[in-house]
Amino acid sequence: MKIVSGGVCAAKGFRAAGIHCGIRHNRSKKDLALIVSEKRASAAAVYTTNLVKGAPLVLTKEHLADGMAQAVICNSGNANTCNANGLEIARGMAELAAGELGIAPEDVVVASTGVIGQPLSLDPIREKIGELAEALSGQGSGDACEAIMTTDTRRKEVAVEFTLGGKVCRLGGIAKGSGMIHPNMATMLVFITTDAAISPAMLQKALRGDVASTFNMISVDGDTSTNDMVTVLANGLAGNPEIRAEGPDLEVFMQALNTVTVALCRRIAGDGEGATKLLECAVTGAKDEKAAKTAAKSVVCSNLTKAAMFGADANWGRVLCALGYSGADLDVHKVGVRFRSAAGTVEVCRDGAGVPFSEEEAKKVLTESEIEILVSLGDGDASATAWGCDLTYDYVKINGDYRT
């Protein structure tokens, strides 16, 4: 497994582009992205469980019913959610992209992100769809990544190279997500491409299995978005024998997928709105996986813990508190907590009680930009990891006038 460049264009047969079409008022911000495979591809997706869903998700689910797709079109600046004509607009986006690319509208994944309840016009998309298609290139992943960003401060893209059946394969992805992050079966917007050959059924199985331990284990602010979606397109151009059942090849594919999704999770969490630190909570010694996941996510979701990390305050009681109300099956009298970063490690709690530690050393550890909160439950062999970020003054500033 080797990290390579290229994002969603790392795999054979994929091109991407991103331009400013006019949905967003700031002309320096790209707001329309396109990703295209040179042939129809196996497709899989996982969507938000929020009852309020963006129209693009409803349409994409309809389009992916046959497990195939060839392109993704996505706009930023407007979520196309809670609009009376939302489905009409989403279909229009698919038709515009399909017409320009010479493919069926049903083979287009549609996504939108931005302000909820704001009317979205097709006019700027119609006027610029030709320019967008002309901009498609094998080096366009970065532009596409920028075009799906809202309050993100940096691009999130990664790709890996691996081998299946003696053939070199690549898998890469781009993501957007900074606020309104508390996924349940997806997270904001993530688009993944691969040239590996895998059936739609196995691709869906791989994605759904991965999401439970990756995108469902991050939180920035406790809000589950209305437009969360993760999609994967696999065009098979690497030439490996198609994965049609469980076995060693599927395991290798899932390892590649997991490498990319974990990297994207860390980048989403680390770029939380107003955040200055990436938090990673690793829980070990849990009775079962459910307890480990519940405990880990409770810690990264705790506003008090997040605020303490912002202040580089080793207030481990916040961690114990979050574990105590998490609902996880655990014995608080067995809990141990350590904080770790590039500056070192400090133990702050053992068997549910505080231990002497240097506040000065703890401050150094917690001043770093990436903090690990290591929790040992002492109850079993299960483990889980969750990702989050600190809670800063800027989070309120950003969201106080997000719409206006």
Sequence-ordered list of residues with C-beta below 8 angstroms from that of 391, at least 6 positions apart, any chain: 274, 303, 306, 307, 310
CA 202 vs CA 86, 212, 229, 272: distances in Å: 31, 16, 18, 32
CA 328 vs CA 290, 331, 354: distances in Å: 8, 9, 21
**187 among known catalytic residues:** yes
Tokens of 302: 């705790």
CA 191 vs CA 32, 194, 314, 344, 381: distances in Å: 14, 10, 37, 36, 33
CA 330 vs CA 185, 217, 291, 327: distances in Å: 25, 19, 7, 9
- Give the helix/strand (H/E) hosting 360: helix 359-366
Sequence-ordered list of residues with C-beta below 8 angstroms from that of 103, at least 6 positions apart, any chain: 40, 70, 71
Residue type at 353 in one-letter notation: A
Q: Taking Cα atoms as reference points, which of 123, 43, 47, 107 lies closest to residue 81?
A: 47
Residue type at 370 in one-letter notation: E
Selecting among 150, 187, 259, 261, the annotated active-site residue is 187
Give the Cα separation of 302 and 306 in Å (integer): 6
Sequence-ordered list of residues with C-beta below 8 angstroms from that of 130, at least 6 positions apart, any chain: 100
Instruction: Kindly state the DSSP code that residue 131 receives in the 8-state scheme.
Output: H
**Catalytic (active-site) positions:** 187
